[in-house]
Amino acid sequence: MSSTVTPELSARLGYLLKHAQERLRGLTTAALAPHGIDGRQLAVLLVLAEGEPPSQHEAAGRLGIDRTTMVGLLDALEEKRLVARRPDARDRRRNVVALTDTGRRTLAAARTASTEAERRFLERLTASQAEQFRVLLRTVVLDA
Amino acid sequence: MSSTVTPELSARLGYLLKHAQERLRGLTTAALAPHGIDGRQLAVLLVLAEGEPPSQHEAAGRLGIDRTTMVGLLDALEEKRLVARRPDARDRRRNVVALTDTGRRTLAAARTASTEAERRFLERLTASQAEQFRVLLRTVVLDA
DNA sequence: TATTGTTATACTCTATAACTATA
DNA sequence: TATAGTTATAGAGTATAACAATA
């Protein structure tokens, strides 16, 4: 975790991205802990809240994970009563997954906490640098 | 891997950093494959090349990983004759780890290949944007 | 035949605990 | 007593294969 920085290694993009992710994960995990979820679970809640309540398979697709991985994530969230599975009446192979009322409240609070973690992650940058950082990151990642 | 981008999720820094890392890893892995190593192994070679040849424990410290993890990394690199362990004459508990001649040649070629992967990772940015991206990333990660 | 959810299983990466040999 | 290297083991997190239910 805490590495004795060597100049050439720390100039590598791979090193920087890895450590950026580690730092943000630490901040996010701490910020979300009071709400009883972690970053991956927040991502699931966000995906369930956006657009039509999806099937498990669709939700996995939106997140870019396997449907078998989604099973375990939903098990944990359902155990906390944040989401509910119900069979799709029109295709009984599918489960429609929706947020519960508790899930919606938790999502709202967790979203705020996560945004605050992002703010702290970027706090060494000026506002315009922070905005620029987001823009550059999106350019590099999206619109492939 | 390929996620159906949902607007709110893809605006999250965690999402962007994760996917940035995935994209760079893909490019780097492909660029390094002809040289028979991956990104983690390149990081080890870089660390061994910088400053005094370290012990396994020191090398692990420079990388920020556990000494037990270093064992396996060095096993793989030694099997490929890229590094050599020799007992430290002054403290026979320690192994000094150094690059072989082959290791130095591989490192030189792999470093070039990795730099080229970084260039492709950033190719949607102008030169000054790419430089700015590195600066912002370093600011956020380093000089904690 | 194909798809959804599930389980069993395995693989990768990492760490902790315990052993050994040295100090 | 403490440290370096090693091994055994375990825990995340992920995926593939196979199965039951349904289409």
User: pLDDT digits over A62-105, tens only?
Assistant: 999 999 999 999 999 999 999 999 999 999 999 999 999 999 99
Using pLDDT thresholds of 50, 70 and 90, give the confidence band for residue B4.
Answer: confident
Query: How far is A59 from A55, CA to CA, in rounded Å?
Result: 6
Provide the token pair at B41.
């192994």
Cα distances from B108 to residues B32, B35, B49, B96, B117, in angstroms, run: 11, 10, 10, 21, 15
- Is A61 within 8 Å of chain B by CB? yes
Residue of B nearest to A15 (CA): B43
- Is A67 within 8 Å of chain B by CB? no
| Residue B6: per-residue pLDDT | 85
Name B50's Cβ contacts closer than 8 Å, sequence gap at least 6.
A6, A7, A8, A9, B62
Q: Between chains, do A62 and B121 touch, taking CB under 8 Å as contact?
A: no
- Is A72 within 8 Å of chain B by CB? no
Cα distances from A129 to residues A118, A132, B132, B133, in angstroms, run: 14, 5, 9, 10
Residue B140 · residue A133 · CB < 8 Å: yes
Name A11's Cβ contacts closer than 8 Å, sequence gap at least 6.
none
Nearest CB neighbour to B21, from listed A21, A64, A122: A21
Residue of A nearest to B128 (CA): A136
Name A123's Cβ contacts closer than 8 Å, sequence gap at least 6.
none
- Is B43 within 8 Å of chain A by CB? yes
Per-residue pLDDT tens over the stretch A7-56:
889 999 999 999 999 999 999 999 999 999 999 999 999 999 999 999 99
What's the pTM?
A: 0.94
Using pLDDT thresholds of 50, 70 and 90, give the confidence band for residue A2.
Answer: low
Nearest CB neighbour to B19, from listed A132, A136, A141: A141
Work out the average pLDDT over B102-118: 98
Using pLDDT thresholds of 50, 70 and 90, give the confidence band for residue B142.
Answer: confident
| Residue A144: per-residue pLDDT | 58
Query: How far is B134 from B127, CA to CA, in rounded Å?
Result: 11
Q: Which of A1, A2, A17, A65 to mutate to test the interface with B (most CBs of B within 10 A)?
A: A17
Work out the average pLDDT over A124-128: 97
- E-assigned strands of B41-140? 83-88, 91-99
Instruction: Indicate whether A1 pLDDT > 60.
Output: no
Instruction: Indicate whether B1 pLDDT > 80.
Output: no
| Residue B144: per-residue pLDDT | 59
The shortest C-alpha distance from B59 to chain A (Å) reads: 9
Q: Footprint of strand C, using CB within 7 A?
A: A 1, 55-57, 67-68, 71, 74, 85, 91, 93-95; B 38, 40, 65-66, 68-69, 72, 91-93
| Residue A112: per-residue pLDDT | 98
Instruction: Indicate whether B7 pLDDT > 60.
Output: yes
Instruction: Report the SS3 class of residue B64.
Output: coil
